[in-house]
Structure 1
Amino acid sequence: MKPKTLRFRVSNTEYYIIKNKANYAGITTSEFLRAIALDYNLSYKLTEEEIEIYKELNKYADNFRRIGNLFKLGDSTKVKEISIETAQLIRDHLNRLKI
């Protein structure tokens, strides 16, 4: 429970900008303003479309890893290295998003 209240004036435009940014971050206006004022790290929630894209990328990463494993069994061409590297890049990106 936070016992203190701060009040300040904003224009209509500022009000809607702040509200929209808080909604985009998936938090309340109070949480948003507190985070901005205290230099907290804000992470914005993904849209449904973005989540679907990252799920698809996750499938691609699995497929590239499988391709790399097949090449490990015999063929040592540059394709193996590129496939493994690509899968790792996708995986690293997904891990940063914690999906």
Structure 2
Amino acid sequence: MKRTRIEFVCSSYEKKIIKIKAKKAGLKTADYCRKSALNKDIKAILTEEQVLLYRMLIKYHNNFKSIGNLIKKKEPGLFKLTTEVANEIKEHLTNFRK
């Protein structure tokens, strides 16, 4: 497919913002503008710290699920509570990916 050039006028402030957003998404400025204009999803790249936090949340979710399964029959109230916490963590993990 042959590509053509499109240019648009913006202020230097707007240009800086576009460049910063493109960098956060791991895209070239032109690719960022193209995806934005075509209403495509543009997701920011996760920092190392965010990746570590994501992995930590996964471990917490798995731990609470395991604890819940261990006490399921002996402590139904505590099982319910640990399941709620695990589900809340799972919800945060789902939001993290968006």
TM-score computed with the length of structure 2 as normaliser: 0.84
Between 31-40 and 84-93, the greater mean CA deviation after superposition:
84-93
Amino acid in the other structure paired with 1:63? N
Does 2:95 match 1:88? no
Deviation of 1:2 (Å): 4.8
Amino acid in the other structure paired with 1:42? I
Does 2:33 match 1:33? yes
Moved over 6 A (4+): none
Between the aligned residues of both structures, percent identity stands at 38
> What do you get for the CA RMSD once the two structures are aligned?
1.9
Deviation of 1:95 (Å): 4.1
Unpaired runs of at least 5, structure 1: none
Amino acid in the other structure paired with 2:31? E
1-structure distance, mates of 2:90, 2:72: 19
C-alpha spacing 1:2/1:88, structure 2 compared with 1 (3 Å): farther
Unpaired runs of at least 5, structure 2: none
In the alignment, what sits opposite 1:46?
A: 46
Does 2:23 match 1:18? no
Aligned length: 97
Deviation of 1:12 (Å): 2.0
Amino acid in the other structure paired with 1:18? I
Amino acid in the other structure paired with 2:83? I
